[in-house]
Structures are given as C-alpha cells and as structure tokens.
C-alpha cells in the first residue's frame, strides 16, 4: 500500500459530504437531557380538527383500502384496519392506520376501545397537519414523518393483546407503543392493577426491572439504561407507573414495556422486560393469566 494510494483514500474520506442537518442534530442531542420529558407542545382547535379530519376521510383514496382484514387464526375476535390516513407532501409524510376490534361479544368494551383508537388517530393526524402547516407558514424547510399502526402481540385462546405504535420522525425519531390486553373468555380488558392483590406490585416489579437493567449493562457494554442514582436526583428510572404499559405473552409471562427515551437512550429503542413469574407469584390475584 503506497502512500499515494492511502492519501487518495483519505481524500475520499474527507470528501464525505456533511449534511446541513448535522449541526441541528448535534445541538438537539446535546439538549435532549433537559427536555427528555417534554412531549409535543401543541394545542389543536377541536372544531377545526374535526373538519379537517372528516374531509380527509372522504377524499382520501386510502379509505378504499380500509377494512383490510388481518385474519387472526383460531379465534373469534378480530383486529381489523378500520381506516387509514395518509399524507404525502414532499418532506411531510404520514401513514396512520386505525385498528378496530371486531366480533367481541362485549360490545360496550369493543366500542370503547374502537372509539379510543379512532380518537387517538384523529389527534395524531391533526397534530401532524398542524405541525406541517405551522412549518410551511413560517417557510421552514422541515421534515416530518409519522407512522402509526398496530401489531397483534399476543393471541391465544384466552388473551388478545393489540399494540399500537407511533413513530414520529423530525430531526430525531421517537417511537411510542401502547398495549391493550383483552381477556377473550371473560370479555374484559385486563389492566395492570387488576392483576395484583394490592399496590405492592409497583415496587416489586420496579426492583426486578432495575436488577435486569444492571445485569444487561454488565453483560453488554452497548446497552445503557437511565437508572436513578443518589447523586442524580430526579433523573432516571425509579419505578413503573401504576398503569405501566404491559402485555402478557403467549408463555403467560408478564412483559413490561417502555417507550423511546423513557428509561434508555434513543439508540436502545423501545425496551421490554419479561418479569419472572416467581418474583410476583405471591402478589398475583390468581394464576389465570400469568403462570
């Protein structure tokens, strides 16, 4: 390898173009620590929102694609794509799929969930449109992308878990996911507090998660979690919420889920912890779901 060749290679390396966004990305990342908990700062006019929403349903070709069934084999309850909102205007793109639960005997529960799904999707859509209009009005050459949809996380004879995800990409990207677990036999929505005898689950599960975080970080240097420590008051993970996002997997294990940036840096994405049943068996109401 002569020096000339190496020099040529080095020049190539130095010619790698630096994107104009780099500066912004770096600055934002440096500030992230301070604004870790701040969500979107926008307020939508509800009336205006409703108008935009209805009109876009009617003119959207995506509406034709709606009611595209996702067959759930071997069970009666279905999850369908109720409708889909799409926006594709240059750097502004949105794809929001709205799920709907179908054939649940408990119609009230079905309706409550479906209304919630539709409303959340409407909100997301309105937020996107507002943000886009705002940026355009100020002549900002922005990038905005929203992808939302759903996954069937667990589907056994007993349980159905629907996870709805939202991935928002501006200069950085952020993913959130929310789960709903339905007891198909009893036609009930399973909540986290309902699984346990009392509130002690918060401490028990949190402690186990911190243990798992530490273990994972020890085993793999690439992993990193925010764990609150004594010298960093008010920062990092201390305990789960009472209604922490969760689902029960097909192996009957409780899985606790966190969104981007909630307990770990962005590169870790959304993270999940499977809680060993042994740790919580004493405080479970029953072994109906979790074994």
Partner 1 sequence: MFNRQPKQEKIIAEYVMQNKESFYRLAYSYVQNRDDALDIVQDSIQKAITAGTLKDIQAVKSWFYRIVVNTSLDFLRRRKKVTVLDDTTIQLHSPSHEDHYHDMDLEQALNSLPIQYRSVVVLRYFEDLKIEDVAEILELNINTAKTRLYKALKILRDQMNDLHLEEVRHNG
Strand partners, 220: none
CB 104 within 8 A of CB 187: yes
Sheet hosting strand 173-183, strand order edge to edge: 68-70, 78-89, 92-102, 144-155, 159-169, 173-183, 188-190
Answer for which of 125, 179, 226, 247 binds partner 1 (CB under 8 A) is 226
- Output phi, psi for 195, to 5 deg: -80, -20
Q: What is the C-alpha to C-alpha distance for residues 101 and 81, in angstroms, rounded to an integer?
A: 9
Answer for which of 41, 58, 267, 278 binds partner 1 (CB under 8 A) is 267
Which residue in 181, 161, 156 sits closest to 74, CA to CA?
Answer: 156
Q: In angstroms, give the least distance from the CB of 206 to partner 1.
A: 19
Answer for which of 18, 47, 73, 140 binds partner 1 (CB under 8 A) is 18
Examine residue 233 and tell whether it contacts partner 1 (CB under 8 A): yes
* Region from 17-25, 43-51, 86-94, 181-189 binding partner 1, contact rule CB under 8 A: 17-25
Burial of 265 (0-12, 13-18, 19+ CB in 10 A): middle
Q: Left, alpha or beta for 269 (phi > 0: left; psi -120 to 50: alpha)?
A: left
Answer for which of 185, 207, 232, 251 binds partner 1 (CB under 8 A) is 232
Q: Please say which residue, 6 or 119, places its beta carbon nearer to partner 1.
A: 6
35-39 LR contacts (CB < 8 Å, sep 24+): 36/261
Examine residue 167 and tell whether it contacts partner 1 (CB under 8 A): no
Q: Under rule CB under 8 A, how many of the chain's residues touch partner 1? A: 37
Q: What is the C-alpha to C-alpha distance for residues 167 and 177, in angstroms, rounded to an integer?
A: 9
Examine residue 222 and tell whether it contacts partner 1 (CB under 8 A): yes
Q: In angstroms, give the least distance from the CB of 14 to partner 1.
A: 7
Q: Please say which residue, 174 or 178, places its beta carbon nearer to partner 1.
A: 174
10 SS3 class: helix
- Alpha-carbon torsion 222, 223, 226, 229, what sign? negative
Examine residue 224 and tell whether it contacts partner 1 (CB under 8 A): yes
Examine residue 65 and tell whether it contacts partner 1 (CB under 8 A): no
Examine residue 138 and tell whether it contacts partner 1 (CB under 8 A): no
Question: DSSP letter at 175?
Answer: E
* Region from 67-75, 123-131, 204-212, 233-241 binding partner 1, contact rule CB under 8 A: 233-241
Examine residue 231 and tell whether it contacts partner 1 (CB under 8 A): yes
Answer for which of 29, 50, 51, 67 binds partner 1 (CB under 8 A) is 29
Answer for which of 23, 105, 207, 251 binds partner 1 (CB under 8 A) is 23
Q: In angstroms, give the least distance from the CB of 24 to partner 1.
A: 10
Q: Please say which residue, 11 or 88, places its beta carbon nearer to partner 1.
A: 11
Which residue in 121, 67, 113 sits closest to 94, CA to CA?
Answer: 121
Strand partners, 271: 258
Examine residue 16 and tell whether it contacts partner 1 (CB under 8 A): yes
Contact set with partner 1 (CB under 8 A): 1, 5-6, 8-10, 12-14, 16, 18-19, 21-23, 25-30, 32-33, 172-173, 221-222, 224, 226, 231-235, 265-267
């Amino acid at each position: 390898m002569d020096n000339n060749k190496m020099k040529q290679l080095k020049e190539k390396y130095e010619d790698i173009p630096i994107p104009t966004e780099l500066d912004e990305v770096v600055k934002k990342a440096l500030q992230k620590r301070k604004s870790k908990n701040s969500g979107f700062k926008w307020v939508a006019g509800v009336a205006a929102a409703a108008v935009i929403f209805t009109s876009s349903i009617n003119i959207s070709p995506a509406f034709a694609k709606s009611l595209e069934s996702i067959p759930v084999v071997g069970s009666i309850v279905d999850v369908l794509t109720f409708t889909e909102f799409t926006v594709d205007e240059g750097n502004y793109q949105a794809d929001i799929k709205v799920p709907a639960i179908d054939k649940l005997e408990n119609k009230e529960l079905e309706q409550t969930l479906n209304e919630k799904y539709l409303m959340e999707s409407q909100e997301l859509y309105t937020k996107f449109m507002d943000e886009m209009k705002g940026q355009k009005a100020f002549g900002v050459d922005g990038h905005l992308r929203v992808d939302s949809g759903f996954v069937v996380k667990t589907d056994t004879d007993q349980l159905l878990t629907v996870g709805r995800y939202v991935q928002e990409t501006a200069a950085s990207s952020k993913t959130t996911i929310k789960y709903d677990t339905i007891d198909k036999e009893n036609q009930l929505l399973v909540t986290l507090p309902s699984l346990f005898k009392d509130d002690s689950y918060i401490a028990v599960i949190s402690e186990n998660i911190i243990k798992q975080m530490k273990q994972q970080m020890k085993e793999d240097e690439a992993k990193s979690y925010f764990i609150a420590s004594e010298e960093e008051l008010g920062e990092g993970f201390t305990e789960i919420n009472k209604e922490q996002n969760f689902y029960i997997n097909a192996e009957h294990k409780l899985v606790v889920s966190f969104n981007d940036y909630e307990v770990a840096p962005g590169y870790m994405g959304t993270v999940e912890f499977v809680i060993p049943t042994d740790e919580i068996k004493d405080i479970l109401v029953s072994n109906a779901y979790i074994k």
